[in-house]
Amino acid sequence: MKHIYLLSFISFFSFAAFGQQLSFPGAEGFGRFASGARGGNVYKVTNLNDSGNGSFRDAVSQPKRTVIFDVSGVIKINEKIKVAPDITIAGQTAPGAGITVYGNSVSFSSNSIVRYMRFRGSDNMPRGACVVVADSLDKLILDHISIEWGRWDNLHIKNSTNVTLQYCMVADGINPQRFGALLENPRFVTIHHCLWADNQSRNPKAKAKIEYVNNVIYNWGVSGLVGGHSAEDHYQDIAGNYFIAGPNSSNNFLAMFTATDHVYQHDNMVDMNKDGILNGRAITTEEFVKEKATLLSQPTLLTANDVKIGTPKDAYKIVIAQAGASLNRDAIDNRILGYVTSLGKAGKIINSVVEAGGQPEVIEVRTNLKDQDGDGVPDDWEISNHLNPNDPADAQAVNASGYSNLEIYLNSLVKM
């Protein structure tokens, strides 16, 4: 990113008054202050093995690690992976087609930053398994993540606080439930500019205190966005989203809201005609009332946060361009996006990974960037930025921007 120093300078002064630093330039929502492994160690993933030295599993087993990838391809895991707290997973460092973690669940812990990764389950996971789990934690941001092939839900978040999902793709749930996401009583959750596609229901199930902004929901099955519908009070700010019916979609783009769901809704649209043209209509407050939600005239969370709200039409364009591990999209993500851009004419809620065509083979590519001191920052970048390629300590030095030199390098690999 050519203007990374300017962005870092702006971020520093924008948030200095609050004594908090953004996870990276462009981080928004309640999880935006996760610091990850800032000031910690670097661990380089050098192979695609399920375990052992140089593996992803080993990399995330200890806290305060920035995980960098010197290899690209598919990491097939047989057992669940539990990620330690205070972790930064920099998927944008992987060469070639990037990294896919495939086969079982990955669960995250507090104060973590995860960017540009694909996480996929499999038909061999336990019946009740979810692909990504973010339970009982505080401060997590998932940025440009693809999450697919969960047997119960693709994503599960329970009893957590200060979580952001931004520019993510949550799609292709598989049997027995084929659901998008279950949010069980998390507080202060932001979901913005995400794609929810080809899930039978729960896009997500918002049993939560949540702001749900500028998302695209495509080809839901039984139901689209689902309320909490429980005895406990839930608060959902729902703004600028686009619901687009596909071949499998019922009329229930909203479902299961009850009086305990306190909803503020603004500028949401739905396109039900499946004619290949984005030509939806405004969703009315009466449609939420029909679902028995308690309507609010003012938002609960939006006024206390920084998420920039655009129109549903603009959200569609941004989601198509950015959602998921979009630096190098693979065949699965491109298939799903192809369905969405058909605007109603194509799409399929699958039963199994086999039905989806299986996890595609990815050519293993290794980085050729020279890094003499092993600090995660290539020598050429260090030299051009007046650092010492023989001094591993300078990567973790935090400058006036509030970011370490390592973070500035990592942020320079992506455009926001």
Identify the pLDDT of residue 416: 64
Radius of gyration, CA atoms only, the chain: 21
Task: Report yes or no: 47 and 124 within 8 Å, Cβ to Cβ.
Answer: no
How far apart, in whole angstroms, are the C-alpha atoms of residue 261 and residue 236?
7
How far apart, in whole angstroms, are the C-alpha atoms of residue 142 and residue 89?
10
Angle between helices 312-322 and 331-341 (to 10 degrees): 160
**Tokens representing residue 94 in the block:** 């992987």
Identify the pLDDT of residue 338: 98
For residue 214, the SS3 value is coil
Distances, alpha carbon 414 to alpha carbons 165, 186, 372, in Å: 17, 29, 23
Q: Which residues pair with 263 in a beta bridge?
A: 236, 295
Residues of the chain with pLDDT under 70: 1-19, 416
Identify the pLDDT of residue 15: 38
C-alpha angle with apex 296: 307 to 303, nearest 5 degrees? 25
How far apart, in whole angstroms, are the C-alpha atoms of residue 61 and residue 285?
47
The DSSP bridge pattern shows strands 195-197 and 216-218 to be parallel
Residues tagged active-site:
202
For residue 232, the SS3 value is coil
Give me the sign of the Cα torsion angle 294, 260, 257, 349. Answer: positive
Q: Which amino acid is at 254?
A: L
Identify the pLDDT of residue 61: 98
Task: Report yes or no: 388 and 370 within 8 Å, Cβ to Cβ.
Answer: no
C-alpha angle with apex 322: 317 to 326, nearest 5 degrees? 145
User: Which DSSP state fits 124?
Assistant: T
Q: Which amino acid is at 345?
A: K
3-state helix, strand, coil in the chain (%, to 5): 15, 30, 50
Find out whether the peptide bond into 247 is cis, omega within 30 degrees of 0.
Answer: no
For residue 381, the SS3 value is helix
Q: Kindly list the structural domains of the chain, giving each domain's residue range(s) and its CATH number in brackets, ordered by start.
A: 1-18+370-416 (no CATH), 31-366 (2.160.20.10)
How far apart, in whole angstroms, are the C-alpha atoms of residue 335 and residue 285?
34
Helical ranges in 272-391 per DSSP H = 285-290, 312-322, 331-341, 379-384
How far apart, in whole angstroms, are the C-alpha atoms of residue 246 and residue 198?
8
Identify the pLDDT of residue 6: 32
Angle between helices 405-412 and 4-15 (to 10 degrees): 120
Q: What is the DSSP string of 344-374?
A: TS-----S-TTTTT-PPP---EE-----TT-
pTM of the model: 0.95
Kindly state the greatest CA–CA separation across the chain.
Answer: 65
